[in-house]
């Protein structure tokens, strides 16, 4: 049943969910948007991080702390992934597209099946004091977990935006996206910078994965839904735009919650993908892109 | 008889907030050797991308051989007679030199009903002229820099162009190699093909061109004989200044 | 270079292959052989279809399962709505697949390759969601299907499906072979190597990609259609299973994408292993093996089995001379 009140609730919740979507997409915004690496394994890494947070939960570690703890190993994982990608595909030049994509697709698939074999197909959740409670804002009941995810998402986006615009390495990362050759002329090593950036992007995924398991129960094949969400956000944002990522996340979040309230949950998986197709068809450079 | 082969009329191109071309106009006469110069980022490559159809211009019109081609896709322009080489060579790496040229013959030269044997013969004739005949069956991924440059020109020739655009075909080549490529271009022009040459090596442009145009920041700043352009204050400033 | 002889050789081989399948169907008793054989043949069609766009033109399709699933449901719909015979189901599925391929292609083939890949994932999920919400074809719970009586001279429906799949393999491979050897094939290769250079050499890149995408989609959908009758059941989760996407892609890349024989070899090898692993160990292990093989091959043997065979051949010749 339609009602304005429900719609209002949906929009408020949508904004919260949207910021969370921005947080899980921002790693991809760096790896694919800025570095042009066809990282279709991003959502699988996200779910992997969620399982990491779930495992650490057994030792009474708060999921957000777990996410932070997972950042260094994920950084290393990202460096190794990029190094392999670069040595085997990027450097050889020709045909990097097809096999590079297949490589990341294969990695995603291995992660997914690996999780199934190790932990089964059951849904997993974590415990924390802010999970299960809720707060009331303007007569709308908002789950506490969403508020935590929302706050963390904003912090993460802000931190990355500052990192990319204010620090030397951050600027170098943006420069490498613009003009690799020019950077090489300036005496910097573009490959080392890209490797560092991919490490950062993957480390961010670790924290985002922790947020994911705070927001919803995870299962091994959850990455498929997030292929749509993360790529939708990154493409809609305009490749590599951090502030655009936040706005695009919110648009997706609001669209999803509205459709959910009006038509029911069985339509949910298709929304992000439909939005993605529309953006690709109408404005492939993204809403906020160049 | 002086009707232009190519008429570029007020072409502009913007990338986001950056204006790469700002109302560029130029006429190229049939059979002419035309040089296009300008500092890095002045819009030379953008201009020929607009002419060859790799990019579509935002404003302005382009006419070729008396017909408006402003909105035509690149492959149709190639079929009408505009062929080009690329600043960074773009060979079809999985193919031999012969096959690279056959792509152009297969797809650009349509309506002539060439048999396989005729096509092969034409390819060998072009390779002979350009001095690559002995490399016909070598994979294009194994060519040296100068051979790649020549193969690009040969591939462009296989499309039977009226206008050939050479985008820095001599960049990164040594002295003797520059002369080799220059000779090839002169030979092609002698056969009646109009040539636009973009070049950084000033000596080569000046030796080659009958007429030269200089771009700076997306605008034409000077056009004339090589001597006139070299003597122009604005050209000297564009190259030396800032 | 013996062109006529090679053509003749191919068609004699194809005819012999179908004749063998037919003879097996009439003589072999054990139904399980046909159950497994059908799946292997189906994967040959899927991998061959994938390779037309993915291998020749270099556009990676992650949505094999979308086309396959839509093929399955085209058959289900026709069966439920008008009780259409099997060959109509397959034919219509091919048309639907071609139209879908054209649509997805028009939407994304102007963009860089990865956008096409992501769009194909999108099509998979959207199609699955639509079917899940479509009650007429069974919705989320799926639908039981009754096989019509088997046509003479076959004594079981599975054997008939097996022979039909064999015919589809011949059609798919012949089509892929034709594309590869024609001007279209050379154009697609040029696109894969360098799209801008191709366009500037007169190749109508978008048109060729659309043709390849439509052909590939038609074959994939057609491959899905008989699957409904094979399982006598259809549900969205298995019809749109991502495994089809990974398998078709992996089989092509592992076999080698430069020649039509590559996907055929890859499919025979991997689908047979899959059948064995699923029976002897577990379906998870089988899927894991697939993923690991895919990554190993793209990293270490970029030309696939074909490339390895060529290298071995050269090495052997050098040894003997």
- Provide the pLDDT for residue A283: 78
For the ranges A56-60, A95-99, C155-159, which has the lowest average pLDDT? A95-99
Whether A94 sits inside 8 A of B94 (CB atoms) is: yes
Ranges of H-type helices in chain A: 4-28, 42-57, 63-85, 96-119, 144-166, 168-178, 180-185, 190-215, 223-237, 242-263, 268-282
**Which B positions 124-143 lie with beta carbon below 8 A of chain A?**
141
Whether C299 sits inside 8 A of A88 (CB atoms) is: yes
**Which C positions 161-220 lie with beta carbon below 8 A of chain A?**
192-193
pLDDT digits (tens, 9 = 90+) for C278-291: 777 777 788 888 88
DSSP-derived pairing of the beta strands A140-143 and B219-224: unpaired
Whether B15 sits inside 8 A of A94 (CB atoms) is: no
Closest approach of B172 to chain A, Cα-based (Å): 15
Asked if C237 has any chain A CB less than 8 Å from its own CB, the reply is: no
Asked if C302 has any chain B CB less than 8 Å from its own CB, the reply is: no
Mean pLDDT of B198-224: 88
Total domain count for chain C? Answer: 1
pLDDT digits (tens, 9 = 90+) for A188-200: 788 888 999 999 9
Whether A102 sits inside 8 A of C193 (CB atoms) is: no
- Provide the pLDDT for residue A200: 94
Kind and range of the H or E element at B25?
strand B18-28
Task: Compute the mean pLDDT over every residue in chain B, rounded to the nearest whole number.
Answer: 88
Asked if C289 has any chain A CB less than 8 Å from its own CB, the reply is: no
- Provide the pLDDT for residue B231: 86
In chain C, which residues have their Cβ closer than 8 Å to the Cβ of A103? 295, 298-299
Rounded Cα distance between C279 and C286, Å, is 10
pLDDT digits (tens, 9 = 90+) for C206-226: 999 999 999 999 999 999 999
Ranges of H-type helices in A190-241: 190-215, 223-237
Considering only the beta carbons, identify the residue of B15, B16, B93 that sits closest to A94.
B93
In chain A, which residues have their Cβ closer than 8 Å to the Cβ of C53? none
Whether B91 sits inside 8 A of C193 (CB atoms) is: yes
DSSP-derived pairing of the beta strands B211-216 and B33-37: parallel
Cβ-Cβ contacts under 8 Å between A and B: the total is 8
pLDDT over 70 percentage in chain C: 99
Residue C137's CATH number: 1.10.3470
Rounded Cα distance between C172 and C166, Å, is 10
Q: Which residue of C has its CA nearest to A32?
A: C114
Rounded Cα distance between B70 and B64, Å, is 9
Q: Is C211 exposed, middle or buried (0-12, 13-18, 19+ CB in 10 A)?
A: buried
Subunits in contact with chain B (3 or more CB pairs closer than 8 Å): A, C
- Provide the pLDDT for residue C224: 95
Whether C201 sits inside 8 A of B102 (CB atoms) is: no
Considering only the beta carbons, identify the residue of B16, B93, B94 that sits closest to A290.
B16
Q: Which residue of A has its CA nearest to B91?
A: A94
Q: Where are the beta strands (DSSP E) in C2-140?
A: none
* β-pair partners for A23: none
Q: Shortest CA distance to A22 belongs to which of A194, A182, A212, A188?
A: A212
Q: What angle do CA C155, C156, C158 make, to 5 degrees?
A: 145
- State the helix-helix crossing angle for A42-57 and A190-215, rounded to 10 degrees: 50
Confidence bin at A121 (pLDDT 50/70/90): confident
Mean pLDDT of A35-54: 93
- Provide the pLDDT for residue B51: 94
* β-pair partners for B96: B139
- Provide the pLDDT for residue C1: 44
Confidence bin at A260 (pLDDT 50/70/90): confident
Domains of chain A with bracketed CATH: 4-282 (1.10.3470)
Whether B15 sits inside 8 A of A290 (CB atoms) is: yes
Q: Shortest CA distance to C124 belongs to which of C169, C80, C71, C82?
A: C71
- Provide the pLDDT for residue A290: 46
Mean pLDDT of B89-104: 92
pLDDT digits (tens, 9 = 90+) for A157-170: 889 989 988 888 88
Rounded Cα distance between B159 and C253, Å, is 33
CA dihedral of A255, A257, A261, A265, whole degrees rounded to 10: 100
Which residues have CB under 8 Å from C141's CB, separation 6+?
Answer: C235
Asked if C122 has any chain A CB less than 8 Å from its own CB, the reply is: yes
- Provide the pLDDT for residue C118: 87
Alpha carbon separation from C176 to A25, C260, C306 (Å, rounded)? 38, 6, 16
DSSP assignments along B140-194, one per residue: GGG--HHHHHHHHHHHHHHT--SEEEEESTTTT--HHHHHHHHHHHHHHHHTT-E
**Which B positions 58-77 lie with beta carbon below 8 A of chain C?**
73-76
* β-pair partners for B196: B34, B165
- Provide the pLDDT for residue B1: 41
Q: What are phi and psi of B122, to 5 degrees?
A: -65, -40
Q: Shortest CA distance to A50 belongs to which of A277, A285, A219, A174?
A: A219
In chain B, which residues have their Cβ closer than 8 Å to the Cβ of C258? 94
Rounded Cα distance between C150 and C140, Å, is 29
Task: Compute the mean pLDDT over every residue in chain A, rounded to the nearest whole number.
Answer: 86
- Provide the pLDDT for residue A95: 60
Mean pLDDT of C249-274: 92
pLDDT digits (tens, 9 = 90+) for C39-83: 999 999 999 999 999 999 999 999 999 999 999 999 999 998 998
Q: How many CB atoms lie within 10 A of CB C153?
A: 10
**Over 60: is that where the pLDDT of A8 sits?**
yes
Alpha carbon separation from B100 to B120, B146, B158, B232, C310 (Å, rounded)? 12, 16, 9, 42, 22
**A174 or C233: whose pLDDT is higher?**
C233
Cβ-Cβ contacts under 8 Å between B and C: the total is 81
pLDDT digits (tens, 9 = 90+) for C162-185: 999 999 999 999 999 999 998 899
Q: Is C151 exposed, middle or buried (0-12, 13-18, 19+ CB in 10 A)?
A: exposed
Closest approach of A232 to chain B, Cα-based (Å): 22
Rounded Cα distance between C16 and A67, Å, is 60
CA dihedral of C156, C160, C165, C166, whole degrees rounded to 10: 110
Q: What are phi and psi of B63, to 5 degrees?
A: -115, 140
Mean pLDDT of C101-120: 86
**Which C positions 242-261 lie with beta carbon below 8 A of chain A?**
242, 246, 249-250, 253, 257
pLDDT digits (tens, 9 = 90+) for C189-210: 999 999 999 999 999 999 999 9
Q: Which residue of C has its CA nearest to B141?
A: C193
Whether C253 sits inside 8 A of A84 (CB atoms) is: no
pTM for the whole structure: 0.90
For residue C90, the enclosing domain spans 3-320
Q: How many CB atoms lie within 10 A of CB C283?
A: 13
pLDDT digits (tens, 9 = 90+) for A193-252: 899 999 999 999 999 999 999 989 999 989 888 988 999 999 998 877 788 888 999 999
Asked if B16 has any chain A CB less than 8 Å from its own CB, the reply is: yes
Confidence bin at A2 (pLDDT 50/70/90): low
Whether C197 sits inside 8 A of B74 (CB atoms) is: no
Whether C125 sits inside 8 A of A228 (CB atoms) is: yes
């Amino acid at each position: 049943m339609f009602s304005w009140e429900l719609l209002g609730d949906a929009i408020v919740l949508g904004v919260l969910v949207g910021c969370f979507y921005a947080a899980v997409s921002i790693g991809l915004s760096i790896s694919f948007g800025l570095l042009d690496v066809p990282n279709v394994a991003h959502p699988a890494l996200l779910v992997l991080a969620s399982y990491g947070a779930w495992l650490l939960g057994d030792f009474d570690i708060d999921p957000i702390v777990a996410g932070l703890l997972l950042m260094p190993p994920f950084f290393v994982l990202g460096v190794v992934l990029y190094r392999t990608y670069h040595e085997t595909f990027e450097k050889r030049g020709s045909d990097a597209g097809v096999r590079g994509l297949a490589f990341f697709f294969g990695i995603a698939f291995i992660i997914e099946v690996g999780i199934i074999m190790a932990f089964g197909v059951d849904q997993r959740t974590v415990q924390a004091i802010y999970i299960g409670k809720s707060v009331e804002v303007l007569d709308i009941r908002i789950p506490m977990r969403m508020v935590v995810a929302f706050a963390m998402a904003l912090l993460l986006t802000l931190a990355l935006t500052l990192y990319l615009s204010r620090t030397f390495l951050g600027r170098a990362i943006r420069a490498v996206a613009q003009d690799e050759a020019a950077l090489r002329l300036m005496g910097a090593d573009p490959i080392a910078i890209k490797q560092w950036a991919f490490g950062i992007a993957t480390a961010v995924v670790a924290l985002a994965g922790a947020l994911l398991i705070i927001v919803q129960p995870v299962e091994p094949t959850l990455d498929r839904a997030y292929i749509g969400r993360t790529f939708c956000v990154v493409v809609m944002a305009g490749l590599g735009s951090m502030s655009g990522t936040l706005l695009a996340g919110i648009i997706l979040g609001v669209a999803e919650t509205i459709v959910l309230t009006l038509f029911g949950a069985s339509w949910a998986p298709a929304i992000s993908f439909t939005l993605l197709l529309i953006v690709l068809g109408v404005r492939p450079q993204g809403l906020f892109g160049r | 008889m002086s009707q232009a082969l190519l008429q570029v009329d007020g072409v502009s191109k913007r990338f986001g907030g950056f204006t790469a071309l700002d109302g560029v106009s130029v006429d190229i006469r049939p059979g002419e050797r035309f040089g296009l110069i300008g500092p890095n980022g002045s819009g030379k490559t953008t201009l020929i991308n607009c002419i060859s159809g790799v990019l579509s211009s935002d404003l302005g019109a382009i006419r070729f051989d008396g017909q408006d081609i402003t909105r035509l896709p690149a492959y149709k322009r190639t079929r009408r007679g505009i062929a080009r080489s690329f600043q960074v060579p773009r060979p079809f790496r999985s193919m031999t030199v012969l096959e690279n040229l056959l792509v152009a013959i297969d797809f650009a030269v349509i309506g002539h009903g060439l048999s396989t044997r005729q096509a092969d013969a034409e390819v060998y004739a072009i390779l002979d002229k350009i001095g690559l005949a002995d490399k016909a069956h070598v994979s294009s991924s194994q060519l040296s820099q100068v051979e790649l440059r020549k193969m690009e020109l040969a591939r462009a020739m296989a499309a039977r162009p009226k206008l050939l655009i050479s985008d820095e075909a001599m960049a990164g080549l040594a002295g003797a190699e520059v002369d080799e490529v220059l000779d090839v271009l002169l030979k092609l022009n002698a056969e009646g093909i109009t040539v636009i040459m973009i070049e950084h090596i000033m000596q080569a442009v000046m030796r080659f061109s009958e007429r030269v145009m200089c771009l700076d920041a997306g605008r034409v700043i000077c056009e004339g004989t090589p001597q006139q352009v070299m003597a122009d204050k604005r050209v000297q400033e564009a190259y030396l200044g800032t | 270079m013996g062109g006529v002889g090679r053509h003749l050789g191919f068609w004699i081989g194809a005819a012999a292959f179908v004749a063998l399948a037919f003879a097996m169907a009439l003589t072999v008793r054990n139904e399980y052989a046909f159950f497994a054989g059908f799946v292997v043949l189906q994967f040959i069609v899927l991998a061959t279809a994938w390779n037309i766009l993915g291998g020749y033109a270099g556009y990676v399709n992650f949505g094999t399962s979308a086309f396959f699933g839509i093929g399955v449901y085209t058959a289900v719909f026709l069966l439920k709505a008008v009780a259409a015979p099997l060959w109509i189901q397959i034919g219509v599925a091919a048309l639907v697949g071609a139209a879908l391929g054209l649509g997805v292609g028009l939407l994304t083939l102007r963009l860089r390759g990865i956008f096409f890949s992501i769009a194909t994932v999108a099509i998979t999920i959207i199609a699955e969601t639509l079917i899940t919400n479509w009650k007429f074809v069974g919705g989320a719970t799926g639908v039981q299907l009754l096989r019509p009586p088997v046509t003479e001279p076959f004594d079981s429906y599975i054997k008939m499906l097996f022979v039909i799949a064999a015919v589809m393999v011949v059609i798919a491979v012949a089509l892929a072979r034709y594309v590869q050897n024609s001007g279209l094939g050379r154009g697609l290769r040029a696109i894969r190597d360098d799209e801008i250079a191709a366009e500037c050499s007169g190749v109508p890149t978008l048109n060729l990609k659309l043709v390849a995408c439509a052909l590939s989609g038609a074959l994939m959908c057609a491959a899905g259609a008989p699957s409904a009758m094979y399982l006598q059941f259809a549900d969205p989760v298995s019809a749109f299973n991502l495994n089809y996407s990974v398998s078709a892609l992996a089989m092509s890349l592992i076999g080698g994408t430069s020649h039509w024989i590559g996907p055929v070899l890859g499919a025979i090898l991997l689908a047979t292993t899959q059948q064995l692993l699923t029976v002897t160990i577990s379906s998870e292990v089988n899927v894991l093996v697939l993923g690991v093989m895919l990554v190993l091959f793209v990293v270490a043997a970029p030309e696939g089995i074909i490339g390895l065979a060529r290298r071995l051949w050269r090495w052997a010749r050098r040894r003997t001379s």
